[in-house]
């Protein structure tokens, strides 16, 4: 999408023998040197910046850039800044996708039957969840595990302890019935919460939006489809809201208006 105003974004500027400097805003392959692609950067000069690496004909570094995006190229209007600006970290304000939406039960999250809080029980529970009517998604929440906060030696083993996690399952139907069915095989902490869309519906919509122009990443989140594009001034979000309903597809823009 073309933008006539200054935009700012954080990414990797990468130049190789195959192409000039590009602003890689999406997924970067973690090879060495890394591989990625994005809008061509106009006015770039490696001799005028610091904080970059070079290997085998490829030069790259992390930068915050400000400039004009015409849908193909990014023309810098201000000097690049190495690294991410302190107020330019969208992840800092993002909700925890793995957090448990259910209220904590009386007495806290705990194991109710140790004989059914094993690795085998956990695997069977996740398999059974996929067969539930209206299945919308499932995940593990490790927030009740002290190892998730201590970062001490041996934490990796503790993080795999099935008695110290919450299994989360979302369904569009009867949550009480789904929880009762899963309780037949799982004796650890469990949260079954309501969803608007089934996993199958989310995957169908994901397939429908894969051809979105300037798409960087796409995937299913908690009861929604997440898209990241190079730039959206809000018109793409409105278009997808009209097409699929508000809140089903959530658009994130890698470039945002520069406010000085």
Dist. CA 137–CA 61, nearest whole Å: 37
What CA–CA distance (Å, rounded) separates 54 from 79?
A: 21
Residue keyed to tokens 């730039």: 231
What is the C-alpha to C-alpha distance for residues 37 and 40, in angstroms, rounded to an integer? 9
- pLDDT for the residue 94: 58
pLDDT the model gives residue 158: 73
Q: Can you tell me the distance from the alpha carbon of 2 to that of 236, in angstroms, rounded to the nearest whole number?
A: 12
Under a CB-based contact definition with an 8 Å cutoff, are residues 173 and 199 in contact? no
The rounded distance, in Å, linking the Cα atoms of 15 and 57 is 8
Q: What is the pLDDT of residue 91?
A: 47
Look at residue 29 in the predicted model and tell me its pLDDT.
85
Three-state helix/strand/coil letters over the chain: CCCCCCEEEEEEEEECCCCCCEEECCCCECCCCCECCCCEEECCCHHHCCCEEEECCEEEEEEEEEEEECCCEEEECCCCEECCCCCCCHHHHCCCCCCCCCCCCCCCCCCCCHHHCCHHHHHHHHHHHHCCCCEEEEEEECCCCCHHHHCCCCHHHHCCCHHHCEEEEEECCCHHHHHHHHHCCCCCEEEEEECCCCHHHHHHHHHHCCCCCCEEEEEEECCEEEEEECCCCCHHHHHHHHHHCCCCEEEEECCEECCC
What token pair was written down for 50? 């610091």
Pick from 14, 44, 46: nearest CA to 29: 14
Q: Residue 103: which residues within 8 A CB-CB, separation 6 or more?
A: none
Residue 13 gets the label, from left (phi > 0), alpha (psi -120 to 50) or beta, of beta
* pLDDT tens, the chain, 260 aa long: 776 789 999 999 999 999 999 999 988 888 889 998 899 999 999 999 999 999 999 999 999 999 999 999 999 999 999 998 655 455 444 567 889 999 999 999 999 999 999 999 999 999 999 999 999 999 999 999 887 776 655 566 677 799 999 999 999 999 999 999 999 999 999 999 999 999 999 999 999 999 999 999 999 999 999 999 999 999 999 999 999 999 999 999 999 999 87
C-alpha closest to that of 36 among 50, 63, 15, 17: 15
Taking the model in full, what pTM does it have? 0.85
- Give the model's pLDDT for residue 88: 47
Can you give the pLDDT at residue 95?
63
Q: How high is the pLDDT of residue 160?
A: 77
Strands 73-76 and 40-42, how do they pair?
A: parallel
Residue 29's DSSP bridge partners are 35
How would you list the strands of the sheet with 166-171, edge to edge?
135-141, 166-171, 189-194
């Amino acid at each position: 999408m073309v933008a006539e105003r200054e935009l700012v974004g954080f990414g990797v500027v990468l130049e190789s023998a195959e192409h000039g400097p590009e602003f890689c805003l999406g997924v970067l392959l973690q090879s060495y040197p890394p591989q990625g692609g994005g809008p061509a950067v106009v006015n770039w000069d490696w001799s005028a910046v610091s904080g970059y690496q070079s290997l085998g004909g490829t030069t790259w570094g992390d930068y915050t850039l400000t400039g004009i995006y015409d849908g193909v190229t990014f023309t810098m209007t201000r000097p690049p800044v190495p690294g991410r600006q302190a107020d330019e970290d969208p992840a800092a304000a993002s909700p925890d996708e793995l957090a448990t939406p259910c209220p904590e039960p009386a007495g806290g999250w705990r194991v109710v039957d140790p004989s059914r809080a094993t690795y085998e029980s956990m695997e069977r529970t996740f398999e059974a969840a996929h067969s539930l009517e209206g299945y919308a998604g499932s995940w593990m929440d490790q927030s009740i595990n002290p190892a998730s906060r201590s970062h001490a030696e041996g934490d990796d083993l503790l993080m795999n302890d099935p008695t110290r996690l919450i299994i989360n399952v979302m369904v569009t139907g009867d949550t009480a019935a789904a929880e009762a069915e899963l309780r037949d095989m799982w004796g650890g902490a469990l949260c079954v919460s309501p969803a608007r869309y089934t996993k199958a519906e989310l995957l169908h919509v994901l397939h429908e939006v894969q051809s979105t122009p300037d798409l960087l990443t796409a995937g299913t989140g908690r009861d929604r489809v997440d898209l990241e594009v190079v730039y959206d001034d809000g018109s793409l979000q409105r278009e997808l809201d009209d097409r699929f309903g508000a809140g089903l597809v959530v658009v994130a823009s890698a470039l945002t208006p520069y406010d000085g």
